[in-house]
Structure 1
Amino acid sequence: MELPLSLKSRATSASESSSVVSGQADLLDIPNASEVQAGKKSIIATLLAQSSRHLFGPTSAPTLPLKHQVVSIEGLLSKLSYLKPDEISQIKKAFQYSDAAHLGQYRHSGEPYITHPVAVAELCATWKLDAASIMAALMHDVIEDTGSTKAELVERFGTKVAELVEGLTKLDKLEFQSHAEAQAESFRKMFMAMARDVRVILVKLADRTHNMRTLDAVPMEKRRRVAAETIEIYAPIAHRLGLNLIYRELQDLSFRYSMPMRFRVIEQAVKRARGNRKEMVEKILQSARMAFAKSDLVVDLQGREKTLFSIYSKMRAKHVNFSQVLDVYAFRVTVSSIDECYRALGILHALFKPMPGKFKDYIAIPKLNGYQSLHTTLIGPSGVPVEFQIRTSDMHAVAEAGVAAHWAYKDGAPDMSEVQNRAHQWLQSLIDIQDSSGDPQEFLEHVKIDLFPDAVYVFTPKGHIRALPRGATALDFAYSIHSDLGNTCVAVKINGLQLPLRSELKNGDIIEVVTSASSQPNPGWLAFVRTGKARAAIRHSLKTKHYSESLQLGERLLMSALRQQGVDAALLTTEVWEKLLHWTGDKTREEACVNIALGRRSPQELAIRLKILLDEEGTGDQMRLDSADWVATQLEPTYSHQRQAIIVDGREGNSISFQSCCHPIPGDNIIGYLGKGEGLHIHTNDCPHALRMLSKDGDKWVEVEWGKEINREFEVDLAIDTRQGKGVLARVASSITSADTNILNVSMDDRYKEDSVVIRFTIQVSDRLHLSKVMRNLRSNHDVMRVTRTRSE
């Protein structure tokens, strides 16, 4: 019996299959064959010309091995009744094309690779995505894994489908120094594609969900890597877009493969508890149904178990064992209107006592991803806490499918749902972060910060509500309005009171931002802002507005490191620099130096690399730089070969910051720390905070010294023990100002003493001699018992 054409194609030898680039092949088992592009196109053309009856009907050869079975899309077609006949016809053509393109490729399970795109398309069809999305799902790997081109897809299926497929394609042609850098750039590309068209991420989430469902066939090492990537990136994205069903499934699957032993232990514990608590669950359901029936309220009441990952997370967060996690079950009440939601809440509160502080109204104030429900925790039978979620049927659809609920994609459609509008706003914010980020890894770091699970809701002075991540500060609020507002922010008023920019926001706060045109971002802001948008905007401003400062600092740091390695900068040729830039990935020498100043590159690392490159070139020829090489012409005359430390004189601007934990002043022994993206931080040698960081991260510390001429003043904290009495504060302040010193801040300890009080001053001095003069003046004051220079721990 002769096999049908597509069956023959899957039985072809590896030599007939096309070469495949790496990418989705994490879950592929692809023959190692040479690419015969012309031959491949001929095969595809022949296959597409054949009758498709065996492709769209049930499998007719179930006894064949997995590799040789015909793949059916009957299941997919049965879910496409919401599409037009001509759209379904196009989807069939996309399947034929993908089936032919993936000729000779198999998954680790042994199945033909085409089974994966079909499964992804079926998941997209359950969300009722449009025809273009289904076609992109079927062909999402053809560019990456088969050598097909975007131009070819444009010709056959149109521009929109081709752009969706391209957005789903990983990077495979570029060279990266590390897997982390390649991964970060791939994610950056994906985020930018989904910012342009949210359908990209919906198909990508369907792709990742099917991969996770079939992860058993993958080697253990890859399982753990894919699971970690899923829990870190894809599950939070699903949550951020409101796809809670996918979010919960990805969490549990990631938990299963990243921590298999813990997963099995909790799974068994839940199975045992299911039997023990069955009677209690039935009793709660029966009581609630009777209460609703008496009130003539028609509801759909369902009970469900919490996911294994959420149970594990709760055990870990609260340091409890499984038996102490009482709310393993939750109950969902679905009604027909918002009014009935609140009626149902009253009925339940009359039936069981509510737990104080355990009620949340997400209907009045929806979550960031559009989720709406009333949440209440009640004291059920035997004192067991029981959680109820009350929502309408429309809210339930959004709660389960989020941005994919009731999908109807139109370019710039004004009638998009509130959920889709929220998703669109968040995706657009990714473009702002991309514009402000210096490299893919920094961009990914900012996006991870924004993939937060919880939020705090605050108000503008005009009453507009804004959602920010829990822990966000007043400065984050300013940046959430507009980057320029954050950059020029000088003060904030929270509920009418002027408070520090670092003040953490609480639900219901009303925030007013005070700005000044002359204000600029401070590197110290990076230490407390919470949102990715704020961090990206601050770093971008520091990088652009203070580029020259960072460049000079980077040059000085590199020269110092070169001298420590015994490298004569005059021997660095243009060829050596080009090799170094190829190694670092920087475009210019200036960019390399700026990255040093911002802590992205270690000056010692670059100096060692330059030394290696010089050794390879041969230094005996005493090669000299040409006139375009700034190292010899600009730096060498300025800094002597003998000086090892970086000289600071307080005029470096924002590229160097003097840390508030120890307030270094001229005359103190100091040391410098290169914080990533934050410039050079100066600490005193005995600063407790610096000593702790030095023990953990010794590579980022550099030697620094004070310059001979200092043209600015520095902050110092003093604690002054004084006697109790009238006018003491005024007399102490007078002693300080008489030493030609400015007082920046004053406070008094809360601890009450009968005969004394501790007054704390922040003052400005030029150096240690100036500070000594201030302290002598204070000690000569008969009200002062002791003066101490203080540092924060």
Structure 2
Amino acid sequence: MLEARDLVALIKNYNPNSNADLIMSAYAYGREMHAGQTRHSGEEYFMHPVAVAAILAEQRLDDSTIVTALLHDTLEDTRSTYAELEAHFGREIAELVNGVTNLTNLELSSRETKQAENFRKLFMAMSKDLRVILVKLGDRLHNMRTIKHMHAEKQVKKARETMDIYAPLAGRMGMQWMREELEDLSFRVLNPDGRQSIMRRFIKLQQETGDVVQKITTDIRNELEKNDLTADVYGRAKKPYSIWRKMEAKQLGFSRLSDIYGFRVITMSEADCYAVLGALHQRWMAVPGRFKDYISQPKSNGYRSIHTTVSGRDGKRVEIQIRTREMHEVAEAGVAAHWSYRDGVQVENPFAVDPAKWISSLSERFEQSEDHSEFLEHVKLEMYSDQVFCFTPKGEVVKLPKGATPLDYAYAIHTRIGDSCVGAKVDGLRVPLWTRLKNGQSVEIITADGQRPQATWIDIVVTGRAKQAIRRSLREEDRARFVKLGQELARVGFEHVGKRVSDKALKTAAGLLGIGSRQDLLADLGSAQITAREVVEALYPDLAGQDGDEVAAESAVIGLDQNQSFQRARCCQPVPGERIVGIAYKGQGVRVHAIDCPALEEFEDEMRRWIDLQWHSGRHAAAHSVTFDVTIGNDQGVLGRICTLIGEQRANISDLRFVDRKPDFYRLLLEVEVRDLEHLHRVMTAVQADSDVAQLERYRDMSRRP
């Protein structure tokens, strides 16, 4: 464990004006509070806060952040209090320690709704003081470095959370070195065999080719010297996880993966960056599509660099990053560069991003989300995104995540432009809306009055902003339809328990379920956010609860002898809730028909074969197939939407057959598994309410008699 005087010396190296007494005092206080505590490894617990402080000191951070690292577990794991911390170290540090404690208690890998809310709290904490997340990232990095001492199950949970949350968050903040290490440490736990295979192949490659990094570094230096360019050149093999990810993404074996080494050229000035680029491209052939200029178009977290890939020694692809020393410092520290010190003063790096402005731009749109799952999706999309830069017809730059489409571009300009989009031109040519945009392309959006977002657009766009805007528009457009559908579903649900639906009953149910109004309740009911059963149960728990446990399919019918088996007749496909009768077949059990089935006419003279039956009164499984005869408009996305509507009603499509195809309409037979008559009506009502459904009937095939 690093002693207090050694930690102070480490900090003094970059900040001679550091408050040594404050650091020593925090060290002594933290050690006293954690006295007697040990880690899973058996080591003194306080070595962990000290290690976190050392990680942050390596990033040349300010005294308050270092002290917070030393004390970050005191509020949670010791007898220390906020008041005591404030009295000893001041309000700023007490607030920072409290913020880290609150982050530690967030379950970021829990179930979706809670996870989304906790993500919201995470971003709120970041918006107050970004140093809180810097300490938390340092804490997670040290925990991952020492994860082997945890139980195997906890290792996997922590590694998955790190891979999904903390590594991309570090990357989004510009701390690429930390992202890569967190990913690789997680990879070691989640896929040890995969990582070992990469390491073995690296060793074999080095044995066959020698030190490739040193050779290519020398080649680059020689080329720069020929052009009288002064710069530092560094090379390294990429992390095992980075290589594994490239292999998976490109579906290539290790032997075919060429860009497994990365090189950096650190220059004296921005002009030298472009001079170096010219020299390298004159000497080696540039690989098409592998050039990015983040100097002229920097990332939102302040990252600036030129990226290029060339065919270097022996035809091997060599990935090179070119930037100035100041750009490199931001590239290493990301947003944390704002707090970096050198020679006792805070560094005034012109490329360092103001954390307040950065977190504000990152969280601005998150606050508009009403839906937790949408918020979570938006956060993850923002954290994982790489960027492409496109141009408006006037030459203005629009930043979008990799994989973005013209629709994403339209919504990035303005929600109104996105909502009314009917087409797009890329570099002057008309393209489909699902086209993936590339760096440097010029995009023009074609709009039309009266155009509204389509449900299929959700699958086309990739940005959280676009998805959120489309869903909001669809919700507003569909609300009237959902209210109407909800009214019908409520009527069926109330009649099922012998009650009549009324405005007062619905208003009361809305209050009991915590829903704003009667209209909101009907809209939620029609959009499958809640079920009619839940509404009925809220008002009449005794009546709704009579169903008890779900009835097994083999015991769904009452009135059979103990040794008699039954099957539903294929002609009429009766479901629970309908009146039924059984027809006995010698050696074949009983066929159950709906009482109005035309097939029963055949047995009018054989009454001895008739068996009086009824359905069990409990809740049935959704395993009773019914066939719909449905005619729909022949338009893009209609069939998919119908299938989605059925799925939203918790029904399963077991078969689909086209009967007739016309230029404007399709007729098809859909076999759907439902629970009972109420469930059947709910599914049919949901489908009938769609504007592109011309006709829907329950199909009975008399040719399929027993």
**Are positions 1:705 and 2:684 aligned together?**
yes
Q: Cα gap change, 1:493/1:243 in structure 2, threshold over 3 Å: closer, same or farther?
A: same
**Are positions 1:528 and 2:528 aligned together?**
no
Q: Cα gap change, 1:693/1:421 in structure 2, threshold over 3 Å: closer, same or farther?
A: farther
In 2, the alpha carbon distance for the partners of 1:113 and 1:290 equals 50
**Are positions 1:165 and 2:93 aligned together?**
no
Q: Among residues 305, 310, 317, which one is paired with 2:242 in the alignment?
A: 310
Q: Cα gap change, 1:607/1:263 in structure 2, threshold over 3 Å: closer, same or farther?
A: farther
In 1, the alpha carbon distance for the partners of 2:670 and 2:299 equals 38
After TM superposition, give the deviation of residue 304 of structure 1 in Å.
0.7
| 8 Å CA contact 2:536, 2:544 repeated in 1 | no
- Which letter does structure 1 place at the counterpart of 2:353? Q
- Which letter does structure 1 place at the counterpart of 2:339? W
> Secondary structure of the residue that 2:683 maps to in structure 1?
strand
- Which letter does structure 2 place at the counterpart of 1:435? Q
- Which letter does structure 1 place at the counterpart of 2:290? K
In 2, the alpha carbon distance for the partners of 1:450 and 1:383 equals 36
Q: Among residues 594, 603, 621, which one is paired with 2:531 in the alignment?
A: 603
In 2, the alpha carbon distance for the partners of 1:701 and 1:241 equals 51
Can you list the C-alpha shifts for 1:140-194, whole angstroms capped at 9, x where unaligned? 3334444755455445444433333333234799999965544443332112211
- Which letter does structure 1 place at the counterpart of 2:5? E
Q: Among residues 302, 308, 319, which one is paired with 1:387 in the alignment?
A: 319
In 2, the alpha carbon distance for the partners of 1:696 and 1:266 equals 48
Q: Cα gap change, 1:121/1:569 in structure 2, threshold over 3 Å: closer, same or farther?
A: farther
In 2, the alpha carbon distance for the partners of 1:99 and 1:122 equals 15
Q: Cα gap change, 1:707/1:451 in structure 2, threshold over 3 Å: closer, same or farther?
A: closer
Q: How many residues align?
A: 603
Q: What are the within-5 Å matches in structure 2 for residues 569-584 of structure 1?
A: none
> Secondary structure of the residue that 2:180 maps to in structure 1?
helix
| 8 Å CA contact 1:403, 1:423 repeated in 2 | no
Q: Among residues 430, 435, 448, which one is paired with 2:363 in the alignment?
A: 430
Aligned to 1:130: 62
Aligned to 1:78: 9
In 2, the alpha carbon distance for the partners of 1:345 and 1:448 equals 34
**Are positions 1:353 and 2:301 aligned together?**
no
Q: Cα gap change, 1:423/1:605 in structure 2, threshold over 3 Å: closer, same or farther?
A: farther
Aligned to 1:240: 172
Q: What are the within-5 Å matches in structure 2 for residues 295-306 of structure 1?
A: 295-306=227-238
Can you list the C-alpha shifts for 1:235-267, whole angstroms capped at 9, x where unaligned? 111111211110110111111111111112211
Aligned to 1:460: 392
| 8 Å CA contact 2:34, 2:45 repeated in 1 | yes
> Secondary structure of the residue that 1:358 maps to in structure 2?
coil
Q: What are the within-5 Å matches in structure 2 for residues 190-589 of structure 1?
A: 190-405=122-337, 407=339, 417-421=350-354, 424-425=357-358, 427-439=360-372, 441-483=373-415, 486=418, 504-511=436-443, 523-540=455-472, 550=482, 553=485, 557=489
Using structure 1 for the length normalisation, give the TM-score. 0.63
Using structure 2 for the length normalisation, give the TM-score. 0.70
- Which letter does structure 2 place at the counterpart of 1:343? A
Q: Cα RMSD (Å) of the superposition? A: 5.3
Q: Cα gap change, 1:236/1:618 in structure 2, threshold over 3 Å: closer, same or farther?
A: same
| 8 Å CA contact 1:458, 1:466 repeated in 2 | yes
After TM superposition, give the deviation of residue 215 of structure 1 in Å.
0.7
Q: Cα gap change, 1:179/1:107 in structure 2, threshold over 3 Å: closer, same or farther?
A: farther
| 8 Å CA contact 2:327, 2:351 repeated in 1 | no
Q: Cα gap change, 1:341/1:84 in structure 2, threshold over 3 Å: closer, same or farther?
A: closer
Give ranges in structure 1 of 5+ residues lacking alignment.
1-58, 60-70, 621-640, 645-656, 717-765, 770-793
- Which letter does structure 2 place at the counterpart of 1:455? Q
| 8 Å CA contact 1:670, 1:684 repeated in 2 | no
- Which letter does structure 2 place at the counterpart of 1:704? V
In 1, the alpha carbon distance for the partners of 2:261 and 2:328 equals 18
Q: Cα gap change, 1:122/1:532 in structure 2, threshold over 3 Å: closer, same or farther?
A: same
In 1, the alpha carbon distance for the partners of 2:490 and 2:645 equals 14
Q: Cα gap change, 1:545/1:196 in structure 2, threshold over 3 Å: closer, same or farther?
A: farther
Q: Cα gap change, 1:521/1:78 in structure 2, threshold over 3 Å: closer, same or farther?
A: farther
| 8 Å CA contact 1:94, 1:139 repeated in 2 | yes
Q: Among residues 110, 124, 138, which one is paired with 2:42 in the alignment?
A: 110
In 1, the alpha carbon distance for the partners of 2:653 and 2:673 equals 17
| 8 Å CA contact 1:359, 1:376 repeated in 2 | yes
| 8 Å CA contact 1:380, 1:386 repeated in 2 | yes
In 1, the alpha carbon distance for the partners of 2:499 and 2:287 equals 72
| 8 Å CA contact 2:30, 2:70 repeated in 1 | yes
> Secondary structure of the residue that 1:78 maps to in structure 2?
helix
Q: Cα gap change, 1:595/1:419 in structure 2, threshold over 3 Å: closer, same or farther?
A: farther
Can you list the C-alpha shifts for 1:53-89, whole angstroms capped at 9, x where unaligned? xxxxxx8xxxxxxxxxxx7333432232255767443
In 1, the alpha carbon distance for the partners of 2:452 and 2:446 equals 13
- Which letter does structure 2 place at the counterpart of 1:289? R
> Secondary structure of the residue that 1:169 maps to in structure 2?
helix
Q: Cα gap change, 1:115/1:173 in structure 2, threshold over 3 Å: closer, same or farther?
A: closer
Q: What are the within-5 Å matches in structure 2 for residues 616-695 of structure 1?
A: 660-661=635-636, 663=638, 672-673=645-646, 686=657
In 2, the alpha carbon distance for the partners of 1:281 and 1:195 equals 41
| Paired-residue identity, % | 38
Can you list the C-alpha shifts for 1:457-491, whole angstroms capped at 9, x where unaligned? 11234433121112223332343345566557677
Aligned to 1:19: none
Can you list the C-alpha shifts for 1:735-754, whole angstroms capped at 9, x where unaligned? xxxxxxxxxxxxxxxxxxxx
In 2, the alpha carbon distance for the partners of 1:693 and 1:237 equals 45
In 2, the alpha carbon distance for the partners of 1:104 and 1:488 equals 66
- Which letter does structure 1 place at the counterpart of 2:330? V
Q: Cα gap change, 1:284/1:530 in structure 2, threshold over 3 Å: closer, same or farther?
A: closer
After TM superposition, give the deviation of residue 420 of structure 1 in Å.
1.4
In 2, the alpha carbon distance for the partners of 1:482 and 1:198 equals 29
